[in-house]
Amino acid sequence: MPHTEGFCFGMSDGSDIDDDLALVANARRPAGEGLAAFYTSWW
């Protein structure tokens, strides 16, 4: 993605990558069983 500045944007230090990958793995599991996974942001 292109560099973006402003509200809710900034540098990532990579500390969330393990949690992000776990979220994707957990969302893909039910999809493989024909189910749907939904994500909504907290803001």
Residue in 40, 20, 23 with CA at minimum distance from that of residue 31: 23
Distance linking the first and last C-alpha atoms of the chain: 21
Q: Which tokens belong to 22?
A: 């776990």
Q: What's the length of the chain?
A: 43
- In this predicted structure, what is the pLDDT of residue 43? 65
Tens-digit pLDDT string for the chain (43 aa): 677 777 677 677 888 899 989 988 888 888 888 888 777 877 6
State the pTM of this model.
Answer: 0.52
3-state secondary structure of 43: coil
